[in-house]
Amino acid sequence: MDSDEEDFLFFGTPIEREEEITNRRKKAAAEASGQLRSAPPWKQEVLDEEGRRRFHGAFTGGFSAGYYNTVGSKEGWTPQSFTSSRKNRAEVKQQSIFSFLDEDEKVEMEGQFLGTSSKFDTFGFTAAEYARKQAETEQKQRPSAIPGPVPDELVAPVTESIGVKLLMKMGWRRGRSIKDSHASSIYDARREARKAFLAFADDGKVSQLADSEPVESELGSLIEQPVNDAVWSSQSTTDIYASGYNFEETYVQEDEEQPSSLHTDDKKKLVWKEQGVLPGFKVATNSDYQPERFNPPVIPKDFVPHHKFPGPLETEKKLAISPCPEVPPPDDNNLKILIEGVATLVARCGRLFEDLSREKNQSNPLFSFLSGGNGREYYARKLWEEHQKRDDQTKLSLDGKLSPSMKKMTADSRGKLLGEKPLERSSRDISSTSVTSGVSVNLQHDLSNTFTKPELFNALPEVAKPFKDDPAKQERFERFLKEKYQGGLRSTDSGAASNMSEAARARERLDFEAAAEAIEKGKQGKESNISLQPFVEFSATGGLKFTSGGSEQVKDTQAEDSTVKKIFPRREEFQWRPSPILCKRFDLIDPFMGKPPPAPRMRSKMDSLDSLIFMADSVKATKLGEDVTINRDLPPSQNNSEKITEKVAEQEVKVEVENVERPVDLYKAIFSDDSDDEVDSPNNNKVGDPEKKVEAATTALNRLIAGDFLESLGKELGLEVPPDVPLSTSKSMTPAQKATPNAEALTAKFEDTSSSTLNALGASSINQGVPVSEDASSEHTLTEIELNLENSLRNGSQQTKDVLSKDRDSKVDLEKMAQEDRKDKTSSRHRRNWSNSPSSEDERSRKRSRRHRNRSSDSYSDSSPDSFSDHQGHNHSRSRRKKKSSSREKSGGSRKHSKSHKYRSKDSPSRSSHYDTGKERSQAKKERRKWRD
Amino acid sequence: MSASELPRKEANVLKGHEGAVLAARFNGDGNYCLSCGKDRTIRLWNPHRGIHIKTYKAHGREVRDVHVTPDNSKLCSCGGDRQIFYWDVATGRVIRKFRGHDGEVNAVKFNEYASVVVSAGYDRSLRAWDCRSHSTEPIQIIDTFLDTVMSVCLTKTEIIGGSVDGTVRTFDIRLGRETSDDLGQPVNCISMSNDGNCILASCLDSTLRLLDRSTGELLQEYKGHTCKSFKMDCCLTNTDAHVTSGSEDGTIFFWDLVDASVVSKFRAHASVVTSVSYHPKDDCMITSSVDGTVRVWKT
CB distance from B200 to chain A under 8 Å?
no
Asked whether the predicted pLDDT for residue A398 surpasses 70, the reply is: no
pLDDT of residue A62: 55
CB contacts, 8 Å: B112 with chain A: 586
Residue of A nearest to B260 (CA): A201
Residue of B nearest to A571 (CA): B181
CB contacts, 8 Å: A585 with chain B: 111, 113, 115-116, 128, 130, 132, 139
Residues A704 and A846 in one domain: yes
CB-closest option in A195, A210, A737 to B259? A210
Q: Which of residues 246-265 of B touch A (CB under 8 A)?
A: 256-261
DSSP A198-211: HHHHHHT--HHHHH
Residues A661 and A787 in one domain: yes
pLDDT of residue A424: 43
Q: Which of A336-345, A410-419, A504-513 has the lowest mean pLDDT?
A: A410-419
Interface test with chain A among B153, B243, B258, B264, by most A beta carbons within 10 Å = B258
Residue of B nearest to A583 (CA): B173
Residues A676 and A796 in one domain: yes
CB contacts, 8 Å: B160 with chain A: none
Asked whether the predicted pLDDT for residue A314 surpasses 70, the reply is: no
- What is the DSSP pairing of strand B116-121 with strand B105-110? antiparallel
CB A570 to CB B174 under 8 A? Answer: no
Residue A360 lies in a domain: yes
Pairs of residues, one from chain A and one from chain B, whose beta carbons lie less than 8 Å apart: 132
Residue A37: pLDDT band by 50, 70, 90 thresholds? low
Residue A94: pLDDT band by 50, 70, 90 thresholds? confident
* Domain end marker among A525, A555, A585: A555
Q: At what angle do helices A207-222 and A184-203 cross, to 10 degrees?
A: 160
* Domain end marker among A194, A222, A250: A222
pLDDT of residue A35: 55
CB distance from A593 to chain B under 8 Å?
no
pLDDT of residue A783: 46
**CA nearest A535: which of A510, A515, A555, A564?**
A515
Determine the Cα–Cα distance for residues B118 and B126; give it in Å rounded to an integer: 7
pLDDT of residue A147: 58
Residue A421 lies in a domain: yes
Asked whether the predicted pLDDT for residue A71 surpasses 50, the reply is: yes
pLDDT of residue B118: 92
Residue A494 lies in a domain: yes
CA distance B125 to chain A (A): 13
Compute the Cα dihedral for A339, A342, A345, A347 and give only its sign.
negative
pLDDT of residue B282: 86
Q: Which of residues 872-891 of A touch B (CB under 8 A)?
A: none
Residues A715 and A795 in one domain: yes
Residues A724 and A664 in one domain: yes
CB A576 to CB B142 under 8 A? Answer: yes
Residue A618 lies in a domain: yes
Each residue of A73-82: pLDDT tens digit?
Answer: 666 666 667 7
Residue A576 lies in a domain: no
Q: Is B65 buried (19+), middle (13-18) or exposed (0-12) by CB count in 10 A? A: buried
CA distance A517 to chain B (A): 20
* Domain end marker among A555, A589, A623: A555
Residues A477 and A424 in one domain: yes
Residue A904 lies in a domain: yes
CB distance from A58 to chain B under 8 Å?
no
Contacts of A99 by beta carbon, 8 Å cutoff, 6+ apart = A93
Residues A817 and A884 in one domain: yes
Residue A311: pLDDT band by 50, 70, 90 thresholds? very low
What domains does chain B contain, in order, with CATH numbers?
Answer: 3-298 (2.130.10.10)
Residues A833 and A859 in one domain: yes
CB contacts, 8 Å: B173 with chain A: 578, 582-583, 586, 588, 591
CB A194 to CB B258 under 8 A? Answer: yes
Q: Which domain holds residue A217?
A: 184-222
**CA nearest A930: which of A813, A764, A763?**
A813
Interface test with chain A among B102, B139, B145, B222, by most A beta carbons within 10 Å = B139
Q: Please indicate whether residue A846 or residue A521 has the higher confidence score (pLDDT).
A: A521
Determine the Cα–Cα distance for residues A381 and A95; give it in Å rounded to an integer: 97
SS3 state of residue A863: coil
Each residue of A572-628: pLDDT tens digit?
Answer: 888 888 888 888 888 888 888 777 665 554 444 444 444 444 444 444 444 444 444
Q: Please indicate whether residue B191 or residue A215 has the higher confidence score (pLDDT).
A: B191
Asked whether the predicted pLDDT for residue A883 surpasses 50, the reply is: no
> Low-confidence residues of chain B, pLDDT below 50?
none
CB distance from A200 to chain B under 8 Å?
yes
CB distance from A400 to chain B under 8 Å?
no
CB B217 to CB A585 under 8 A? Answer: no
Q: Is A229 buried (19+), middle (13-18) or exposed (0-12) by CB count in 10 A? A: middle
**CA nearest A684: which of A869, A414, A541, A922?**
A869
Report whether A782 contacts A862 (CB < 8 A): yes
CB distance from A598 to chain B under 8 Å?
no
Interface test with chain A among B173, B239, B243, by most A beta carbons within 10 Å = B173
CB contacts, 8 Å: B102 with chain A: 737-738, 741
Number of folded domains that form chain A: 5
Cα dihedral angle (A742, A745, A746, A750), rounded to 10 degrees?
Answer: 170
SS3 state of residue B96: strand
CB A210 to CB B258 under 8 A? Answer: yes
CB distance from B86 to chain A under 8 Å?
no
pLDDT of residue A34: 60
Residue A245: pLDDT band by 50, 70, 90 thresholds? very low
- A654-680 mean pLDDT: 46
CB B259 to CB A570 under 8 A? Answer: no
Residue of A nearest to B216 (CA): A571
Q: What angle do CA A902, A907, A909 make, to 5 degrees?
A: 105
CB contacts, 8 Å: B113 with chain A: 585-587
DSSP annotation of B173:
T
CB distance from A686 to chain B under 8 Å?
no
Residue A476: pLDDT band by 50, 70, 90 thresholds? confident
- A291-303 mean pLDDT: 76
Residues A489 and A632 in one domain: no
CB B113 to CB A572 under 8 A? Answer: no
CB contacts, 8 Å: A567 with chain B: 184
Residue of A nearest to B82 (CA): A741
CB A738 to CB B219 under 8 A? Answer: no
- What is the DSSP pairing of strand B158-163 with strand B149-154? antiparallel
pLDDT of residue A492: 42
CB A741 to CB B99 under 8 A? Answer: yes
pLDDT of residue B24: 92
CB B116 to CB A578 under 8 A? Answer: no
Residues A478 and A374 in one domain: no
- A474-491 mean pLDDT: 63
Positions of E strands within A266-414:
281-283
Interface test with chain B among A195, A198, A218, A833, by most B beta carbons within 10 Å = A198
pLDDT of residue A520: 65
Cα distances (angstroms) measured from residue A864 to each of A42, A249, A685, A691, A855: 61, 79, 9, 18, 12
Residues A375 and A492 in one domain: no
Strand order in the sheet with B207-212: B187-192, B198-203, B207-212, B218-223
CB B113 to CB A587 under 8 A? Answer: yes
Determine the Cα–Cα distance for residues A396 and A531; give it in Å rounded to an integer: 9
Q: Please indicate whether residue A222 or residue A183 has the higher confidence score (pLDDT).
A: A183
CB B220 to CB A585 under 8 A? Answer: no
CB contacts, 8 Å: B116 with chain A: 582, 585-586
Residue A175 lies in a domain: no
CB distance from B177 to chain A under 8 Å?
yes
pLDDT of residue B107: 92
pLDDT of residue A764: 42
CB B174 to CB A207 under 8 A? Answer: no
Cα dihedral angle (A245, A251, A255, A261), rounded to 10 degrees?
Answer: -10
CB distance from A329 to chain B under 8 Å?
no
Determine the Cα–Cα distance for residues A874 and A453; give it in Å rounded to an integer: 96
Indicate left, alpha or beta for A333 from its phi (over 0: left) and psi (-120 to 50: alpha). alpha
Q: Please indicate whether residue A391 or residue A347 has the higher confidence score (pLDDT).
A: A347
Each residue of A17-27: pLDDT tens digit?
Answer: 665 556 666 66
CA atoms within 13 A on the CB side of B274: 23
CB A194 to CB B182 under 8 A? Answer: no
CA distance B49 to chain A (A): 35
CB contacts, 8 Å: B140 with chain A: 578-579, 581-582
Q: Which of residues 140-169 of B touch A (CB under 8 A)?
A: 140, 142, 144, 156-157
Residues A615 and A526 in one domain: no
CB distance from A812 to chain B under 8 Å?
no
